[in-house]
């Protein structure tokens, strides 16, 4: 991964202390889009994700708080069901267009 190439990550967090939560929430909000409560989608460079991790590490209480980050490979299988709070044109290419046959194959996983 180059330093200018952007990659997608999912960040989810559970912070016990309200003051720490507010600080962490403000920081993560600068980097990504909220998908759900305390779950964010980031489209960032390697330098940006490293900076974010460093910032978060300095704020959390490792005995009480939990922050998880997941890299989303470019050619991975993703599914979205129902209404999304993130419009398709906000992060183009996140949910790649699929043929009907591909959608049918994926739907079979949930039936």
Most confident range, picked from 56-60, 73-77, 93-97: 56-60
89 annotated as a binding-site residue = no
- Whether residue 54 is predicted with pLDDT greater than 80 in this model: the reply is yes
Residue extents of the structural domains in the chain: 7-72
Please give the pLDDT value at position 36.
86
Instruction: Decide if pLDDT at 15 tops 50.
Output: yes
How would CATH label the architecture of 7-72? 2-Layer Sandwich (3.30)
Give the pLDDT mean for 50-77: 91
pLDDT in tens, 85-103: 666 655 555 544 444 444 4
Helix pair 46-59, 18-31: axis angle to 10 deg: 170
CA distance 73 to 9: 9
User: Over the range 6-28, which residues count as b (16 or more CB within 10 Å of their CB) and which as e?
Assistant: ebbbebbbebeeeebbebbeeeb
């Amino acid at each position: 991964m180059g330093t200018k190439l952007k990659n997608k990550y999912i960040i989810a967090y559970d912070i016990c202390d309200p003051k720490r939560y507010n600080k962490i929430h403000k920081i993560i909000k600068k980097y990504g889009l909220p998908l759900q409560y305390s779950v964010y989608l980031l489209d960032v460079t390697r330098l940006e994700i490293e900076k974010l991790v460093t910032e978060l590490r300095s704020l959390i209480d490792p005995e009480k708080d939990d922050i998880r980050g997941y890299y989303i490979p470019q050619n991975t299988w993703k599914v979205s069901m129902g209404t999304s709070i993130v419009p398709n044109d906000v992060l183009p290419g996140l949910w790649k267009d699929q043929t009907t046959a591909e959608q049918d194959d994926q739907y079979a996983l949930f039936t």
